[in-house]
Amino acid sequence: MRALIVVDVQNDFCPGGALAVPDGDAVVDAVNRMASEAPFVVATRDWHPPDHGSFAAQGGRWPVHCVQGTPGAELHPGIDASQIDVVVEKGQVPDREGYSGFEGTELERLLSEHGVDAVDVAGLALDYCVKATALDARRAGLNVTVHRGATRAVEVSPGDGERAVEELRAAGVEVVD
């Protein structure tokens, strides 16, 4: 069975958020279309404690974002939550980045229990959490397709998005437009 993993389409990663991905909210319609056709949909969301190590105040590289229980950590209001079967919270361990939806979560078990052997991956951000989740899905033995039209890159350094695509393809992940 094929499943859709919607990665971190949260308020803080969309325009106006604490760590906005350029044009991040542009993925919402594509994600909703994909979810309407998927037999099983898992959404991940960053769910950081207030003292998460990735925050600049703790010596990390990012501004405070997606803190547990805050509006910024909620899924973007345009996401049709009725199409999501399970929400997996990640990034809860203070000293781990937690980019991947598989890191420290039950995602692999959930997919296995539902007989999933292939996943489509969409969401934010292509060059961090989408890439890490897709690579871990591949390592878990799944066939993985990342949908470019349903993701956007942060581009901390110019070209990060394209480098992520190259890394994904080199790992056997199919990247489609």
Torsion of CA 29, 10, 25, 23, to 10 degrees: -140
Residue the block writes with tokens 């990390």 = 60
Q: What is the rounded distance in angstroms from the CA atom of residue 111 to the CA atom of residue 153?
A: 25
Instruction: Please confirm, yes or no, whether 66 is among the known catalytic residues.
Output: no
* Nearest in space to 20 (alpha carbons), one of 62, 79, 59, 68: 62
Question: Among the options 14, 46, 66, 90, which is catalytic?
Answer: 90
Q: What is the rounded distance in angstroms from the CA atom of residue 1 to the CA atom of residue 170?
A: 24
Question: Among the options 12, 25, 120, 129, which is catalytic?
Answer: 129
Instruction: Please confirm, yes or no, whether 129 is among the known catalytic residues.
Output: yes
Q: What is the rounded distance in angstroms from the CA atom of residue 85 to the CA atom of residue 97?
A: 25
Number of H helices, E strands in the chain: 4, 6
Question: Among the options 8, 12, 25, 46, which is catalytic?
Answer: 8
Q: Which helix (H) or strand (E) holds 123?
A: strand 118-124
Instruction: Please confirm, yes or no, whether 90 is among the known catalytic residues.
Output: yes
Q: Which are the catalytic amino acids?
A: 8, 90, 129
